[in-house]
A and B are shown apart, each in its own frame.
Chain A
């Protein structure tokens, strides 16, 4: 081992500053926070889901538009998207089809519509998850949009934007070591490196706890009715993680920490330099419905 490992004792030494084992990794590994911040937009709408929990397409479109406007800083939504996507791009929208909690067709369609508004014809645009390596559009993609729901995960701690690219690897299990510590390494593969223009972490009805082999129980989801949007997947995930932990604290009346620790999010920052995980370096823009915000 080339460097000293982080142990429980390290956490205990700084426990009064930050009691989270996972969240401590950047504190331990990095000196003072740099000056620049990355922007993350959290947008929520009370009507994003109907009473049965079904996403409402028009509301979702409006939420995504508001988030992208705020992220880019342009009131014209098409102009804003044109700063993300060029008309000559070939665009893969990496979704997530997990049956119990998917990205949702409404989010996929909202993204697709704006990519086309930016000038990309439909034949140079594809939405896919498990078939990305065989999909001709993804094989030629010059730009990727990454969209998936936030949920707890029995091995990686949290399934979110960083983890969503595991289907770009021919053998996903090769990235499972140390409970998926180095997932961010996937983002250096030629299929994806430097191509991601936008990350959408779907927080419509996040899963904040899991039990059993099936990993899902509706009782452990809640209607948060939000989207987290950022160019930085690590900042998006770190923000989503704070919300999941806050919900867990509220529900379980404990420290709210995920098990296993989703340390791949911090390591994506401190080890792989994919993005920013430290909340102090994230400019969080909050839009819309504020009830039960949790952050």
Chain B
């Protein structure tokens, strides 16, 4: 390990732009080029590169989270300085900006660090996304120095990534009134949905890793409601999903009508074209219906290109 650190030091001294153990494939090589070889007094060790098939070698079953967002590559670079906690950069190429945004929304706890196109910092972990990349910059122990270094490292990486990506278009179908902008999640499967908000043990909405879904929190009098909007491949797929949800979750309710769910709150759903929208935990049936009406107007407006 010491040899690697010495080599890194030499390379950093030579010019700071040469990577040791540089990945050979074009995608990881490009991604690695965004990460500096040193971070203050910390010097980098050899990169490790993983893809969706090998990520379990790095982070065992937790790799499923990144696979569920269609990850392409991960470049992991560790920075070492004797006597200081190590710093680890895990840089993911998610293949699309939508999925980079999505995996970022998997954990939104923390303070906005104003880095990239969205970021959080908490307890020695900086997470951010930019373009099709998701970055986790982590210190093995949080100190004032490591926090400063993580933020600096994050800003450097974000600046090196050219351009910016678009958030998923599905977010445009979220009515603005009452929306908690910092609590919007984008995903493709029911395990991730259940992580954020348990709906059912089985995939009753037929997300199946092929649909796009957004779950958003809304402020309500006396609490919080959720709006789930799912985009399917075509209207028949949405109709099947709506029927599946209705049959499993609210078999005694007709589409569009609300149903009290035992906690004195209301659930309602609607199928519109290739979309299914569900409101959970609304304070009233009227409120649930109004939110679905608003989604429907946005869908119609979107299809007219407004």
Q: Which residues of A contact B (CB under 8 A)?
A: 1, 4-9, 11-13, 15, 21, 98, 153-156, 166, 172-173, 176, 178-181, 211-215, 217-220, 259-261, 263
Query: A176, B64: Cβ atoms under 8 Å?
Result: yes
Report the nearest B residue to A173, measured CB to CB. B56
Q: Are B200 and A7 in contact (CB under 8 A)?
A: yes
- 6 new A-B pairs (CB below 8 Å) besides A155-B64, A178-B191, A213-B62? A7-B201, A98-B60, A212-B138, A217-B125, A219-B124, A220-B123
Q: Please give the residue numbers on chain B whose beta carbons come within 8 Å of chain A beta carbons, in ascending order.
A: 56, 59-66, 88, 90, 107, 109, 122-125, 127, 136, 138, 140-142, 191, 194-195, 198-202, 204, 248-250, 261-263, 267, 280
Per the bound structure, the CA–CA distance linking A194 and B61 in Å amounts to: 25
Contact of B202 among A5, A156, A172, A259 (CB under 8 A): A5
Q: Which residues of A contact B62 (CB under 8 A)?
A: 153-155, 213, 215
Contact B125 A154 (CB under 8 A): no
Partner of B61, one of A176, A211, A212, A220: A176
Most chain A beta-carbon contacts within 10 A, residue among B109, B204, B263, B280: B263
B142 touches A219 (CB 8 A): yes
- Could you pull out 10 A-B pairs where Cβ atoms are within 8 angstroms? A8-B198, A9-B249, A12-B262, A12-B263, A154-B59, A156-B61, A173-B56, A178-B201, A213-B90, A260-B194
B90 close to A11 (CB less than 8 A): no
Could you tell me if A213 and B59 are in contact, using CB atoms closer than 8 angstroms? yes
Closest chain A CB from B299 CB (angstroms): 25
Alpha-carbon separation in the docked complex, A98 to B141 (Å): 18
A175 to chain B, nearest CB (A): 8
Contacts of B142 in A (CB 8 A): 217, 219
A-B contact count (CB 8 A): 106
Shortest 3 CB-CB contacts between residues of A and residues of B: A5-B202, A154-B62, A12-B262
> Smallest CB–CB gap between A194 and chain B, Å?
25
A197 to B207, CA, bound (A): 41
Which of A15, A176, A212, A259 is B195 in contact with, Cβ under 8 Å? A259
Across the interface, do B201 and A155 meet the contact criterion of CB distance under 8 Å? no
The distance from the CB of B303 to the nearest CB of chain A, in whole angstroms, is 31
- Give the docked Cα–Cα distance between A15 and B264 (Å): 12
Main secondary structure of the interface of B (DSSP, over half): mixed
CB of A8 within 8 A of CB of B124, answer no
Contact A15-B64, Cβ < 8 Å, known A6-B201, A9-B250, A260-B191: no
B123, A217: Cβ atoms closer than 8 Å: yes
- Of chain B, the residue at the smallest CB distance from A14 is B262
Residue among B62, B123, B140, B249 with the most chain A CB within 10 A?
B62
Are B198 and A214 interface neighbours, CB within 8 A?
no
A98 to B57, CA, bound (A): 11
B-chain residues with CB within 8 Å of residue A21 when the two chains form the complex: 198
Name the residue of chain B whose CB is nearest to the CB of A263: B201
Is A7's CB under 8 angstroms from B199's CB?
yes
A219 to B59, CA, bound (A): 20
**Do A180 and B198 have beta carbons less than 8 Å apart?**
no
Chain A residues in 8 Å Cβ range of B250: 9
**Which residue of chain A lies nearest to B65 when distances are taken between CB atoms in the complex?**
A154
B194: nearest chain-A partner, CB-CB:
A260
B60, B88, B90, B136: most-surrounded residue (chain A CB, <10 A): B60
**Chain B, Cβ-Cβ closest to A219:** B123
Hey, which chain A residues are within 8 Å of B191, CB to CB?
178-179, 260
Q: Please state if A213 and B136 are interface contacts (CB–CB under 8 Å).
A: yes
In the complex, what's the smallest C-beta–C-beta distance from B131 to chain A, in angstroms? 19
